[in-house]
Amino acid sequence: MADYKASQRCVWPAPVTYESVVPNPKLKLLEQVREVMRLKHYSIRTERSYCDWVRRYVRFHQMKSREAMLPAEPKMEAFLSHLAVQGNVAVSTQHQAFNALLFVYREVLHVQVGRIESVRATRPARVPTVLTPEEAKRVITVMSGTTQLVVKLIYGSGLRLLEALRLRVHDLDFAMKQLTVRDGKGAKDRYTVLAESVIPVLGEHLERVKLRHEQDLQEGNGAVYLPGALDRKYPGAAREWGWQYVFPARDLSTDPRTGVVRRHHIDEVTVHRAIKTAVSRVGIAKRVSSHTFRHSFATHALQRGADIRTIQELLGHNDVSTTMIYTHVLRQGGSGMKSPLDCL
């Protein structure tokens, strides 16, 4: 495996650079990384991920000072190649590590990085795990409460888990039977279908959420996180009903960046655990996650005659080739042929 990977060299392209930000020189490196990322409005998830990669990078080279981080190119190549050969990481993981290191050198240390040639992580060809309609129904049926409603939206609308959890009240359009995904993968918005059967249940759920929101307002809370600079442009919007999360958390939480107390959406771990428990109860041997229901949405839509371009738009794929992985279901039996055993 190592020899095979070592034969595949990767020349990393240089991403677009943004306006330079000079961090506070009195801060430590990780504190400077956080400061610059917050000034550039990176998400808290990306911030944590990049900081983790910086720690791993420093430990890998046993760096004791910032001067030890130079020259950048051979050190980055050694680390990225180690991830591919010894770490056996996925392609996306290696790309994330590269982007994190490039951010540190260019945006924090202000060091221009040249061509990076490292071993490329391999991308194995895999087909998605898909439930049959009966299996999907069995899993959803044994679930209950909020997590069941989340899974119904994932399967009924083809959402990613975080896209479902980040839905706001004003993203739902019951009259048009559609919902809007804001700032999805690739920072894109899109429309997708809203299942008619879920509308009554979703309406009852929103009534309970609104009662809790009104109680929060009476207690002096009721605010949610707003993206970008909307909280400064519209100071009262964070407490408006339309901006509330469709699936709010049970308890209030403190924003780790600002210290502001807000009600966030429910944790994705809660949904993962509920799905795992439901799959175990119904006795399905497949490896099922929240993304399995998104795969099943696309697969079952194609089986019912939906156009591949329509599926592409609903899923939010940039390239139709990504959506084509679901066409395997149109060739029943793997390759569209009948097994010789069935002809005996």
Q: Confidence band (pLDDT; 50, 70, 90) for 274? A: very high
Residues belonging to the active site: 160, 185, 291, 294, 317, 326
Top mean-pLDDT range of 10-14, 27-31, 117-121, 269-273: 269-273
Q: Confidence band (pLDDT; 50, 70, 90) for 3? A: very low
Averaged over 233-250, what is the pLDDT?
93
Q: What angle do CA 274, 144, 159 make, to 5 degrees?
A: 65
User: How do residues 176-208 score in pLDDT, each as one tens digit?
Assistant: 999 999 987 777 899 999 999 999 999 999 999
Averaged over 10-29, what is the pLDDT?
68
Q: What is the pLDDT at residue 160?
A: 95
Mean pLDDT, all residues of the chain: 87
Q: Model-level pTM greater than 0.85?
A: no
Q: What is the pLDDT at residue 39?
A: 85
Percent of the chain with pLDDT over 70: 88
The answer to which of 16-30, 40-54, 161-175 has the lowest mean pLDDT is: 16-30
Q: What is the pLDDT at residue 4?
A: 42
